Chain A
Amino acid sequence: MAAQGRHGGQESNKMTALVVDDNTVNRMIHHRLLDNLGIENVAVVNGKEAVDIHCSGKTFDLILMDMDMPVMNGIEATRQLREMGIRSMIAGVSTRSMEREIREFIEAGLDDYQEKPLTMSKLISIVHKING
């Protein structure tokens, strides 16, 4: 299930990421974590916005996908992105602990799954998967 790292077509060689999370505090923390690693990032607030931003032509090396979100959740968004042919690394991040729920999320097309809260070491392990 190795993802192909792709640059978003921007002039810089910086890695790019999309944060998908309905929680303001989480978005701020994930933004800071990514910034600290020198990864350019944008944030959207639900799965539908994640799909829409890809429909507008943007792509990212990494997508940090929350599971529980209004309008469209992470499972559905991941499915749709994969159906659209998006091959970016999608890392699911969630507080859910039931194996069944995590499995459903992974089967939707995740490359990696991390339990929240996200820490620097968890993010680094995700990023290594893109490069490795």
Chain B
Amino acid sequence: MNIVNQLQRQFIDFSTSLHREGFVDDQFTQLQKLQDENSPDFVVEVVSLFFEDCEKLINNMARALEQTQGVDFKQVDASVHQLKGSSSSIGAMRVKNACISFRSFCEAQNREGCLRCLQQVTHEYSLLKNKLQTLFTLEQQILAAGGSIPVVD
């Protein structure tokens, strides 16, 4: 098996594991299908935008939850709602699910619960970031070796 085939095999296995472990769902596959010669970097661009958005929203949530005079749960919920929307749109299933639990604690105005959820969301975001960076690196390696990126349905 030559180097391109090896890399492609690695890519397929890695992609499959991302889906199987729930890091991404079908919506992510949809985004990969939107990428073409006119927008060859679409997935990387939208994922980067998502991670920028994530960081900003997580900071907002952390700041709002730190308020000792009284937490504005509506503000926290607004950020979680945004993050849930973005994560759903790019197929970041585990981040999205973490947001769903988070919203219940916002509604219940449970600060401790919210802090735990914030930790969970932050954790899932870091995991996903690493996983997708690995995926993109594999793609680059395949392209550099002269191969094409397999479509994993």
Contacts and interface: CB of A to CB of B under 8 A. Distances in A.
A119 B89 CA distance: 9
A29 B81 contact: no
Interface in B68-108: 81-82, 84-86, 88-91
B50 interface: yes
30 contacts: A22-B82, A23-B53, A23-B82, A24-B53, A25-B46, A25-B49, A25-B50, A25-B89, A25-B90, A26-B86, A26-B89, A28-B45, A28-B46, A28-B49, A29-B31, A32-B34, A32-B39, A33-B34, A35-B38, A36-B36, A68-B81, A95-B84, A116-B85, A116-B88, A116-B89, A117-B27, A117-B30, A117-B88, A119-B30, A120-B33
Nearest to B51: A25
B42 interface: yes
A114 B39 CA distance: 25
A120 B89 contact: no
Contacts of B36: 36
Contacts of A35: 38-39
Contact of B86 (A25, A118, A119): A25
**Dominant SS among interface residues on chain A:** helix
Interface residues of B, number: 23
Interface of A: 22-26, 28-29, 32-33, 35-36, 68, 95, 116-120
A120 B30 contact: yes
10 A-B pairs with least C-beta separation:
A25-B86, A117-B89, A23-B85, A117-B27, A119-B30, A25-B50, A32-B34, A26-B89, A28-B46, A25-B89
Interface of B: 27, 30-31, 33-34, 36, 38-39, 42, 45-46, 49-50, 53, 81-82, 84-86, 88-91
